[in-house]
A and B are shown apart, each in its own frame.
Chain A
């Protein structure tokens, strides 16, 4: 049986009796990157805070590296690195001093800590800014310092919660590069982001959250493949807007970008071929973003129309 460093079962968090995270379960394989995505209010950050122990679950369990997190939080945190949006540090201390302060609690000897600080500052490309007060850092530098802090004790598990939020393009690119490097180093990582391009770029597997529930999960390819025969995308090379009478198919068609791109839940090839020359109609693979948006839309429709709670909680797409 493959060892899963992170096993989350039926994780639930309620505020005033209202579930914000509702029976969320997933497993993360060793040395892989797992992405939690979803719109604002989907429960990504709440889930992440439960994974870091910043908030307690109302129900469910979290096992990390074989240990029950809720029973042994301190032991698990020793193997955990956390990077969150708009990382905060003590502004009156330099980057190096901040790292030294946080690093002291991981049981390093002085020479070890010094070497680790040197290493992570180098990794985060902050050696030149090490003596500068953090208050003078840019948001991108603070996030990179956050990554340095998260890596200080060489954790096996890394949690990135909207780590590129509020960071400019250049800073975002830097952070993504660091994430790539961590992936190469074999860290087990969970990322939350509303940036689907980021998730697509970095993650091996994902879970799509909506209103606190997982509505789809699996590998990126698996999720796409699961929609084969369900979701179609056509590119129609027409300079004119599509003004055809689509009849009962009309509500299922989504236009994205230019009017010449059509997404549909049914095969419209015959009708499109009848309306346009065949060489002007092309069937293409929906993008990851389009797949996610479709899944979320279907989730909303299902939730609005469903009565049974069990039906609501069943994922639309589920990989192995």
Chain B
């Protein structure tokens, strides 16, 4: 055990100090910054668009000018923005994570596969593996210790990246995570960690089987392409089946104007929100909950999707954890005494437990496959 930890520590340090790790860290920061920047740019875009059009005639402004979409999205964005700018101590906000998760669904597998596809083949090609495999430790143990060290390095980098952004967001946007949101955030991070681990293990297994980095590269590229095609195909099928979503609540001119004006206000006072706005938000909140419920119900009916498409599984879990953020944000910003995202932690955990269990099972199965491949590896 001690020797295994020494070995893992060596590979952890080696990977942490590698330029690939630095590149990944920078990429992750870039993605997360982009997520936050896109929110900011939405706001700026709204401001400019409305300013250019003029508030008097805003209702006739084509949506294309906004380049965003419907009025509901305007509201969503406004709520999101004001929510994250709300005063400290009013609860936190995981709402921005909903944007980021969409990006991470594919970026994390790419990075994890890129980090691990040379894990074994590189050592084979350099010849160092001969020196490792004559050490008085079993080959399986050496391989798994190496895998553990390298995985830990990547996970550390991932969590460090997310943590850095969280701190920046907390400082710059005045977000403070606490209570249920903190637990959800930690659960979300756990799922991110598991998701990354699954792909790291997959990449390492491919590396051991392929033996050559060039061959392993082709295989991981094919695997990723397969994952993407599967994701898009399943999305298509789900959309077709989800055609019976409820109607969006109607947006009155006054309400739309209110939100248009919001874009130019530095600080929102909840007292300013007219009654019809609050009513609309309530309807929108209900709508959002209904859509989430439909999606959840559909996912519950078709839970097998997560078994075959790990990217859907990841999105479903993160979606489940973040689904209350929008109504919660509305509550906090527009209703006095609003609270952080509702729902009990137990319920959230229970809802995602099967998916987390499946991810753990996948990781365990891949660990065993790696151990088997490494113990049979001949140099």
Contacts and interface: CB of A to CB of B under 8 A. Distances in A.
Contacts of B131: 82, 87-89, 102, 149
Contacts, number: 56
A55 B135 contact: no
Interface string B107-141: 00000000000000000001110110111111000
B214 interface: no
B212 to A, nearest CB: 16
Contact of B10 (A52, A80, A84, A101): A101
Given A74-B138, A75-B136, A105-B136, A88 B128 contact: yes
A39 B128 CA distance: 26
A73 interface: yes
Given A75-B136, A80-B134, A90 B128 contact: yes
A106 interface: yes
Given A101-B10, A105-B3, A82 B136 contact: no
Contacts of A87: 127, 131
B132 to A, nearest CB: 8
B14 interface: yes
Contact of B126 (A55, A78, A88, A101): A88
Contacts of B134: 52-54, 77, 80, 82
Query: Which interface class (under 10, 10 to 19, 20 to 34, 35 or more) fits A?
Result: 20 to 34
B7 A73 contact: no
A4 interface: no
B379 interface: yes
B286 interface: no
A82 B137 CA distance: 15
A77 B135 contact: yes
A186 to B, nearest CB: 21
Interface string B149-166: 000000000000000000
A90 B14 contact: yes
Contact of A105 (B14, B126, B137): B137
14 contacts: A49-B379, A52-B133, A54-B133, A54-B134, A74-B136, A77-B136, A82-B134, A84-B127, A86-B127, A87-B131, A90-B128, A101-B10, A105-B6, A105-B7
Interface of B: 3, 6-7, 10, 14, 126-128, 130-131, 133-138, 378-379
Interface of A: 49, 52-56, 73-75, 77-78, 80, 82, 84, 86-90, 101-102, 104-106, 149
